[in-house]
Amino acid sequence: MSRFRGPRLRITRRIGDLPGLTRKTARRTYPPGQHGQARRKRSEYAIRLEEKQKLVYNYGVTERQLMRYVREARNSSTAAGQALLELLEMRLDNTAFRLGMAGTVPAARQLVNHGHLLVNGRHMDIPSYQCRPGDVISVRERDRSRRLVEQNMEFPGLANLPSHLEFDKNTLTGKVNGIIERDWVALQINELLVVEYYSRKI
């Protein structure tokens, strides 16, 4: 499964609010499609699949990337579900999004891919780079880069800055002070169901 490039509101109507995917809100609250308003009982598999799809769409990762993250989370010393969310939240594109440098995760990924951001003073164009405590994320000293980030900061995707991050609006520099806590994950999700979903595949 490649990255989703279709209508984003259709996805949020089907699986719920995804702050990393889009800032728009749908007028209709029921799922899309001919049978969207029909009440139907979902199977256990469908519930777990939906939770997995929330991660795929919100963080913009592929199926192969998510499986790798789940495998890494299961081998970690912390709880697998919490470790999985930490790995996804500490990605560079998501960290730039949480700092307010972009309105959505796809927009933050574009910032990284186009070389607008520096990590510890070095050029970094890998969105999946895992940010670590002590990393300093800054904007390149180019008028175009600074202007783009300043425009994005006028309409940030999320209002509150997580406790593990700090950001200086004057220098457009952010710092990672630690690992994100579970309470600061903006996505409404049951991560244990995602681990269960992949338990039959890994």
Domains of the chain: 8-87+186-199 (1.10.1050.10), 91-178 (3.10.290.10)
CA distance linking residue 153 with residue 16, whole number of Å: 25
For the record, the structure tokens of 127 come out as 């969105």
Confidence of residue 75 (pLDDT cuts 50, 70, 90): very high
Contact of 166 with 23, CB cutoff 8 Å? no
Confidence of residue 181 (pLDDT cuts 50, 70, 90): very high
Range 178-202 average pLDDT = 88
For the record, the structure tokens of 34 come out as 């001919």
Helices first, then strands: H and E counts in the chain? 8, 5
Confidence of residue 1 (pLDDT cuts 50, 70, 90): very low
Q: What is the dihedral of CA 91, 87, 52, 191, to 10 degrees?
A: -140
CA distance linking residue 55 with residue 66, whole number of Å: 8
Confidence of residue 38 (pLDDT cuts 50, 70, 90): low
Contact of 55 with 38, CB cutoff 8 Å? no
CA distance linking residue 116 with residue 107, whole number of Å: 12
b vs e for 73-91, b when ≥16 Cβ sit within 10 Å of the residue's Cβ?
bbeeeeebbbbbbbbbbbb
CA-based end-to-end distance of the chain: 17
Report how far apart, in Å, the C-alpha atoms of 86 and of each of 125, 129, 186 are.
21, 13, 12
Report how far apart, in Å, the C-alpha atoms of 117 and of each of 25, 66, 84, 93, 148 are.
29, 24, 25, 10, 11
Task: Write down the mean pLDDT value for the chain.
Answer: 87
pTM for this model (two decimals) = 0.86
> At what angle are helices 44-59 and 191-199 packed, to 10 degrees?
110
CA distance linking residue 194 with residue 45, whole number of Å: 11
